[in-house]
Structure formats: C-alpha cells, structure tokens
Amino acid sequence: MPAPLCFFRFFSADEAEWLRPDGEIQRGPLTDLAVRAGGARLVLAAPGEAVTLHRLALPGRKRSTWARAVPFALEDYLIEDIEALHFALGGVVDDGHLPVAVVDRGLLRAWLDVCEQAGLAPTAVIPDPLLLPWHIDEWSVFLEERRALVRTGRWEGFATECDNLSLLLNRALAETGDAKPRCLRVWGTPPTELAETGIELSRVDAPAEPLALFAASYQPTAILNLLQGAYGRQAHWGRWLRPWRAAALLAGITLLAQGVGQAYEHWRLQRELTTLRAEIERTYRDAVPDATRIVNPKAQMETRLRELAPRGGSGFLDLLYQGVQPLANFPSVALRGLGYRDGQLDLALEGGDPAVLDRLRQQFDQQPGLRMEIRTTQREGQMESKITLKKAPS
C-alpha cells in the first residue's frame, strides 16, 4: 500500500502550512512538519505566480529530443534567458500538444534547499493551479483573502491577486474563442465582476482550505511535477554508490581539507546574498504595501507590472490586442511601425490593395467599442496606410 500524501506550501519566508492526517491545517516552521510527516510522501504546492504553464505543439517525433527542443521553441514567449529556466515536461501528450511548466532554476533550487535544511525531501513539486479540480467544460476558481487560483484546463491555469482576477479571467476567456467553459466552479465569495463574464457560476462551499481541496481532488494523471532532469529524485543512485562508500569517504576528507578556504568564501557570499534578498523584499514591500505573501519579490513585481494594464480596455495593451487580431488575417499587409499617445494607437502599414484594405476596414468595424480611421496613399506603386484606433465613448 503506497504511503499517504501530505500537501504543504510555504506560508512565509520561514513558515509553512500543511494538511494533517485528521484534515486540520497546521502552520509553523518546516522543521515541525519534518517531525510530524512520518512516512508520508510530501507534495509541495508551488506558487502559481512563479510558474508559467504552456501547451506546445510537439517539437519532434522522438521524445528523447523534446527536452532539448522545448526551451528554444518557447524562447520567444519568455522574458528570462532560457539558460536560467527549468522546463518540466508533461508525461502525457494532449491533443497533439505537450504540456510544459517553466520556473526559474534559482527559485526552484531555493525551495528545495529550504526543504533540505529542514530535513524534508518532497516527492513532487506541483504548480498550485494544477492542484485544483479539473473537469471538461468547467473552470475552477479558488478565492483566498487576497489571492486567486484559476485552473482553465487540464494543463493550464494561473495565480494572481484578487484585484486582477477579473481582467486576467476575461482575457483567458477571450483567448478561448468559441471553446468557452460551460460554468465557473467557485470556492469562496465571487466578486461581482465574475457575473459579468456571461459564464454560469457554480458556488462550492467545501473544502474551504486550499490544501484540503488539493488533497480531495488530486489526480496523478493531470499534474505536472517540476522535479525532473537535474532536480529529479534518483533513488537508485544509492544502491549503485554503496560499494564505493569507503573510497568516497577518503576522497571527501581530502577535498574537505583542501576546500576550507572555498567554504569560507562561500559563507561570506551567502551572507551578502541574504542581505541582498532582504533588501529586495523591503523594496517590494515599499512599492506594494498591500502585499501579504512574498515568495519571489522579483517575479511578483514583474507580474504586478504586467497586470497593471488599465481596466475597462482603454490602455495600450488592449488597443494593440484589438489592432493585431485583424492584421493577422492579411499576410499581404505588413506592420511597419506603431505609436501610442493619449489613448490613441497609430499603426503604419504597407502593402495590400484597395480591396484588401477595404476588407481590413470591415474587420476593424466589426469590433465593438472601437473607433477606427484609415488614410491610404500610393507611392511608387506601393500602398501605404495609417490606421488610428481609439476606444468609442461608452
């Protein structure tokens, strides 16, 4: 009989919360969890704010090549250098697509180091949006005091602060096109904006704690474990290394004698790094005074900046999104430049012909709440156009 699962997550810089066998949630130092875990298999719920989830068209026929091909296939969609990122691949191909989770290598290593220092060895590290219940044609939304978890598919989801939930949820719904969910299953009190999505809301009262919900709805075939590759557990190494223990002990003593100076230098650098991390966290708290749960200040600040697009669809990102959609249908028309000022987006185009530009105008006119003006000239046989986009007054 397999050992029971114990779900836990970081609650603050030096504390965690975990689900006891009796169903009670307990909070305290990780060392307390190490004492009480017994023989349970530990599952760390990784904060979804620090992990991005993707569905990637299969990068080749041979699975042995996927691990090398995936980082380059996703490079254009990522901000950080791919060398600094860890890519975890799903074990199941979903409709010709490969599920991929991406996390910063340093952050994942920091999580594992904290666990190791407390005497814990997680068997799995799973992005917490993928621990919510998953059903076909339904999305799951779990609301905490200031944080929201959303699962939008078997391998998709995100985490955000509650203030940004409506904006990100509406964007996710827009990207699905006609494949919108039948209903939203909501744990907690849904904000009034959720009712405006036009999707049926289904309130669920229990369980009210996220870890209890994770345990109750855990589906091993629909999760993505970040412990892969260099971070995977290699239990069979112990049996392979057993005959070499005496030689390894002798080599270890020799290296220890030679490495005292390096150890001191490492200790000094670690102290500087700890000071720097504390300064980064202090800066984040000054910039975001309402933040209550800080896991990775750098990633959280980047998320806040991306989510600060003005509500109501009047900002640059929304106008750009509405402007690029029609252009994608006309490959003969090329975008040569753009500008944004005072709520107005100007697109400089080149190519096409009067008939193509007329169809392009019609597609812009079909977008609700958008005002469009187009001016076209012909220079040396080439059509040049300027499109001005504004939000129509409500």
Tokens of 3: 């050992």
Q: Annotate 248-303 with DSSP letters as a single string.
A: HHHHHHHHHHHTHHHHHHHHHHHHHHHHHHHHHHHHHHHH-TT----S-HHHHHHH
Helix or strand (DSSP H, E) at 391:
strand 382-391
| Domain spanning 1-136+205-233, CATH architecture | 2-Layer Sandwich (3.30)
Residue with tokens 């490959």, as numbered in its chain:
331
Query: Residue 313: its pLDDT value, please?
Result: 45
Burial of 294 (0-12, 13-18, 19+ CB in 10 A): middle
Burial of 214 (0-12, 13-18, 19+ CB in 10 A): buried
Query: Residue 239: its pLDDT value, please?
Result: 37
Residue with tokens 């220890």, as numbered in its chain:
256
Query: Please, what CATH class does the domain formed by 316-391 belong to?
Result: alpha beta
Query: Residue 372: its pLDDT value, please?
Result: 86
**pLDDT values of the chain reduced to their tens digit, one per residue, 394 residues:** 677 899 999 987 678 999 987 788 999 999 999 888 878 899 999 999 999 999 988 877 777 788 889 999 999 889 889 999 999 998 888 888 899 999 999 999 999 999 999 999 999 999 999 999 989 999 999 999 889 999 999 999 999 999 999 999 999 999 888 889 999 999 998 888 888 888 999 999 888 899 999 999 998 888 899 999 889 865 334 434 555 566 767 777 878 877 888 878 888 888 888 888 788 888 877 767 777 777 777 777 767 656 544 444 447 777 888 777 888 888 888 888 888 888 888 889 998 888 888 888 888 888 888 888 889 998 888 889 998 988 887 6
Answer for the pair 364, 394: CB distance below 8 angstroms, yes or no: no
- Domain ranges for the chain: 1-136+205-233, 236-308, 316-391
